[in-house]
Structure 1
Amino acid sequence: MSDLDANPGALSIGERLQAAREAKGYSLEDIATRTRVPVRHLQHIDAGEWKALPAITYCIGFVRSYGNAVGLDGTALGAELRELVGGGGSKSSGAPQYEPADPARVPPRSLAIAAGLLALILAIGYLVWRTNATDEPDPLELATAAPPAVAAAPQPEPVVPQPQPQPASAGPVAITAADDVWLRIYEAGGTKLFEGLIKANQRYEVPPTARAPQILTGRPDALRITVGQTKIPPLAPPRQTVADVSLLPQDLLARVQSSTGVPGPAAPPAGIAPGPVAQ
């Protein structure tokens, strides 16, 4: 039992959860990933803003999952919250209410076995279909194959143009994870382009059609960002949550110029498979 559990009256429920989370070095995004509770709900729990959360039954489930994730007694915290918000647990004569299932609970073993068998059946069916459709081109091969060369009519020997220097902002904005890290890429207006956990050495490219892409993450030190061949300095110190940081090439290159006064050095080969992370 932790000191926070041994002396529950010293701090409020939200303060105990926040203190335990910070003691373990977790950010709100880390807890959201572990419990599947939205970050905005976790912020209300830390502040003790219970009226800003959904019904009491959902609040109890969120607090119980939060407490278990940071090493506290989630069941005891849920019971305490019921006493605090539910007025001593008075029973209503209406229809019974049911608490939502704990998001962190492991599914039954029978369900996992059934899911595995279904995946195996689908894999066998795909192999059979591929065997019977060998004459059809693979869509992935069509997407990655180079376009066929077109025979051109004989032309006079052209004058070779002199190579022109490329602008500093040429090339895609790429994000490579040095460690497992959660992040969200979104437009300034709120449209999500990507949200989830990127594994170590995975790479994500910001869509070139994005008009004002921004990033939210609690581990900026675990990200390696490049614009073309230019390496961008870290967005913030380690373990500091960053939000609404622009990912436009010109804004990222401005960080290089502001820190060194000259364009940044070319990024070394990462030794990873290129291409965006599947969304």
Structure 2
Amino acid sequence: MAQMHSDTHIGEDLAAARVAKGLTHGDVAEALNLQADYIDAIERLNRDALPSIGYVLGYVRAYANLVGLDGSEAVKLFKRDSAVPVNLGMRDRPHFVPRRKIKLPRGFVPAMSVLGCAVMLAFWYGTNTRVEASVGTSIELSNPSAPAPSAPTPLPANILTIKAVAPSWVQVKDAQGRVVISRILTKGETYQTEAGARMTLSARDGGAIVLYAGEDRLGPMGDVGVSFSGKPIDASVIIPELADIPLVPLTTDRPQ
């Protein structure tokens, strides 16, 4: 059986035994059914180019047996030598304790990069969501968390307000059929426009949306849990007339 030397590391001993038998990396790889790169990495103690240590120790044992070295001793030396290949000259000192390099799992860095991008995208989307509205026909959505003014001015009767009393998706279109808003209103949020603007409203839950003219509450735009499409928002619309407007089932532009 070939001998291992104290002044070399196990990778060099394996390479020397291989060369003595006239074998190439390819010969060993073919005999052990491994990649030739793994044989080279074992000889250079390059743990970064090898799979997990459990597999590698099996490769080292088989490699050593193939070239006439003691498999168990080769495994023992590989674990010792590959821990600190740049400090092999210190390994026999009585107080030397090898420091192992922390090796992150494969794919860890790309996974964390993707996660970081997802967090940044979610933050950006949450802080930049906006509502598009036609100029001169509507007023911005209210913010339910904003402090109320100490002396609110009563709204004039020609200001129409739709208010969400429960979360519901809504869509408002102008007189030309262009989408002004299309989003979910949370409880307490409102949307306002002027009378005569001929805006139409679609909603997933008619009972969740209440219509106001100025300060007067006209009532819900529909039944609880019933969706509708294309209802006019107009100051002349009162409760009986709301009931007379036919409901059109929503089939398009509805969130999933």
Instruction: Determine if the TM-score, normalized by the shorter chain, exceeds 0.5.
Output: no
**Structure exhibiting the larger radius of gyration computed from Cα positions:** 2
Could you say which TM-score interval applies, normalised by the shorter chain?
A: 0.3 to 0.5
Greater share of residues in strand: 2
TM-score, with structure 2 as normaliser = 0.34
TM-score, with structure 1 as normaliser = 0.31
Which of structures 1 and 2 has the larger relative contact order (alpha carbons within 8 angstroms, sep 6+)?
Answer: 1
